[in-house]
Amino acid sequence: MAAFDISHRQLRHSQRIDLDTGVRVPVVQADAEALPFAGGSFDVACSAYGALPFVADPLAVFREVRRVLRPGGRFVFSVSHPVRWAFPDDPGPRGLTSDRSYFDRTPYEERDERGALTYVEHHRTMADWVNLLAASGLTIAGLVEPEWPEGHERVWGGWSPLRGRHLPGTAIFTCVSF
């Protein structure tokens, strides 16, 4: 087992968690487009929620994941459900009315007070994700679009029971390497 992140700071958080729990997980600072592992090294790979939309070239990442998986190995990852980008980030009724095209792939960007780019999230459609996986040689074994949990009343950012009962917030892909 190994974990990696491109961010040294995130790896420092990992070390703190290791100390708090007494469980040590080996970590490596690496870019997902060039993994420092031998081919066929892993049975399972996963990507934490939200990581892949920040990657400019997910095809390169998917090809690397396929390379480091053994035949029959599984890759599980989650992303914000692509349909959510067509709606404003509002937990109320306004968040149920589309205000942009689902097919608008313009990246979402944030800049600091000097105008320097600090945050970029790439919007991709469901077909974009499926086609990228196919091009990488990974096979989709399953797709989950979790429904809003019964009895869950918490509002978090742009999500609420109102919005969550109408729109999926997450897409979870399970892929297999052959």
HEC-encoded secondary structure of 66-80: HHHEEEEEEEEEEEE
- Cβ burial of 2 (10 Å; 0-12, 13-18, 19+) is middle
CATH architecture entry for 42-177 = 3-Layer(aba) Sandwich (3.40)
Alpha carbon 176 to chain centroid distance? 17
73, 144 contact by CB (below 8 A): no
Residue 142's H or E segment, with its range, is strand 138-144
**Residue 165 tokens, joined:** 């009962």
What SS3 state is found at 45? Answer: strand
Task: State what percent of residues in the chain have pLDDT above 90.
Answer: 89
Residue 40's pLDDT is 97
Cα–Cα distance, 138 to 130 (Å, whole number): 10
Cα–Cα distance, 25 to 163 (Å, whole number): 37
Cα–Cα distance, 95 to 88 (Å, whole number): 5
Per-residue pLDDT, averaged over 32-53, amounts to: 93
Per-residue pLDDT, averaged over 57-76, amounts to: 98
Residue 60's pLDDT is 97
pLDDT digits (tens, 9 = 90+) for 140-166: 999 999 999 999 999 998 999 999 999
Domain chopping of the chain, boundaries: 1-30, 42-177
Cα–Cα distance, 75 to 85 (Å, whole number): 24
33, 9 contact by CB (below 8 A): no
Residue 170 C-beta-side C-alpha neighbours within 13 Å: 15
Residue 49's pLDDT is 77
Task: State what percent of residues in the chain have pLDDT above 70.
Answer: 100
Listed residue (170, 174, 173) closest to 84, CA to CA: 170
Per-residue pLDDT, averaged over 11-28, amounts to: 93
Residue 116's pLDDT is 94
